[in-house]
Structure 1
Amino acid sequence: MSQKVGDRLKAVRSMYGLSQRELARRAGVTNSTISTIEQNRVSPSIDSLAKVLAGIPMTLIDFFTIDLDTGEEIFFNKEDLVELADGTMSMRLVGATRKDRNLRVLHETYPAGGDTGDKLIVQKGEEAGVIVRGKLEVTVGERVKILGPGDAYYFNAEIPHRFRNVGDGECEVVSAATPPSY
């Protein structure tokens, strides 16, 4: 187990972007304490390990249960995004292959006049987005507003809503929703 503790501590410390010296300072221990644990030269007591982890901060349970390498993709090239298009808009889904996604992130493109359709959308959760380029008319319930580059929206997605490009050129939006509906 000491082999795993040292390796795990080094991986967690690196994941949080901490040097051995910074972790030691935060935890109130010597640099050599961190170094000897990570080199697996000592097997720390539960109390000692808890003191070191307080410098991250992280509980013992989190330390032993955190999945340091899920094997899932983290970075996606433009070509990796799954495109959902219907001619009136294009939505490219980030992380489509991730198991148990709790968030939907889309890179949306609306041609001039493009929209989500006449039928208002209703789904559980929340939705937010930022207009990157162009003009987007956002309807949420009875409220309607035209948003431009840098403008954003955030609303309860259970309120009927829709999106429409009211500009002459293409409109680009980056949006997120939770829970993911697709």
Structure 2
Amino acid sequence: MNKGFEVTEDVPEGDDVQAANPARLGMRLRLARQTRGKTLKALADAANCSESLLSKIENGKASPSLPMLHRLVGALGTNIGWMFEESDGEEGIIFRAGTRPLIALDPLRRGEGISLERIIPYSAGHLLQCNIHHIEEKGESAGPIQHAGEEVGYLLTGEIELMVDGKSFMLSAGDAFVFNSDLPHHYRNAGQKRASIFWVNTPATF
């Protein structure tokens, strides 16, 4: 299958962390809004956020939370994959260990202890979104969130609590899950060490 800046998915600090570019995100958000003929106020109302915050996001001075980003792209009829699309040329096939970027939707606040290791780059050329979610001790995702699609995950290491549609599930390494993305969902690290989830979701409207 989350941080001036409002919290989304966070990443611990480090030289190997690639943070999403707020200016690029804001530019794409503004482009999507303008091409659909929506005013700043109309989009802010549809996404249940303030017009001033949306203006800051579009100008690269703030980052939306993950739930807010889902509301924004839903109101615009686009998808999160397009917002972070990176590949403008020929698609890659092999992505070597140690070369895959970790992403943060907010480079200034990293308090939730979650990083997303990209397995497949965000691109219109892919039908799937695939990341390894690394959750530090006491880390927890933003949410609950819901959107179109389907989620599949496999817990590589650690222990997590997965909450789906108000139900709680405890998972250990080797456990797997699947659910429809339109069910409200979020998760947290339920153990005392880092947990990692191999997470795939489809379609790319995530």
Cα shift at 1:98: 4.5
**Counterparts in 2 of 1:17-96, with a 5 A limit?**
71-85=90-104, 86-88=110-112, 89-96=114-121
Matched, 1:125 2:125: no
How many residues matched? 112
Rounded Cα–Cα distance in structure 2 between residues aligned with 1:137 and 1:103: 24
Q: Which residue identity lines up with residue 161 of structure 2 in the other structure?
A: E
2:140 is aligned to 115
2:180 is aligned to 156
Please say if residues 120 and 131 of structure 2, whose CA atoms lie closer than 8 Å, have aligned partners that are also in contact.
Answer: no
Q: Which residue identity lines up with residue 189 of structure 2 in the other structure?
A: N
1:143 is aligned to 167
Instruction: Say which structure, 1 or 2, has more relative contact order (CA 8 Å, 6+ apart).
Output: 2
2:131 is aligned to 106
For residues 79-131 of structure 1, what are the alpha-carbon distances to aligned partners after superposition, in whole Å with 9 as ceiling and x for unaligned? Answer: 432322344200012221644211011111000110112x3111110001000
TM-score after normalising by structure 1 = 0.56
Rounded Cα–Cα distance in structure 1 between residues aligned with 2:176 and 2:128: 18
Q: Which runs of 5+ in 1 are unaligned?
A: 1-69
Please say if residues 138 and 188 of structure 2, whose CA atoms lie closer than 8 Å, have aligned partners that are also in contact.
Answer: yes
Change (3 A) 1:100 1:124: same
Please say if residues 134 and 170 of structure 1, whose CA atoms lie closer than 8 Å, have aligned partners that are also in contact.
Answer: yes
Rounded Cα–Cα distance in structure 1 between residues aligned with 2:122 and 2:138: 31
Task: Report the secondary structure of 1:80's partner residue.
Answer: coil
TM-score after normalising by structure 2 = 0.50
More helix by share: 1
Please say if residues 82 and 96 of structure 1, whose CA atoms lie closer than 8 Å, have aligned partners that are also in contact.
Answer: no
Change (3 A) 1:161 1:100: same
Q: Which residue identity lines up with residue 169 of structure 1 in the other structure?
A: K
Q: Which runs of 5+ in 2 are unaligned?
A: 1-88, 105-109
Rounded Cα–Cα distance in structure 2 between residues aligned with 1:169 and 1:143: 24
2:199 is aligned to 175
> What is the Cα-based RMSD across aligned positions, in Å?
1.9
Rounded Cα–Cα distance in structure 2 between residues aligned with 1:145 and 1:107: 19
For residues 112-170 of structure 1, what are the alpha-carbon distances to aligned partners after superposition, in whole Å with 9 as ceiling and x for unaligned? Answer: 110112x3111110001000110010000021111000001100010000010010000
Task: Report the secondary structure of 1:78's partner residue.
Answer: coil
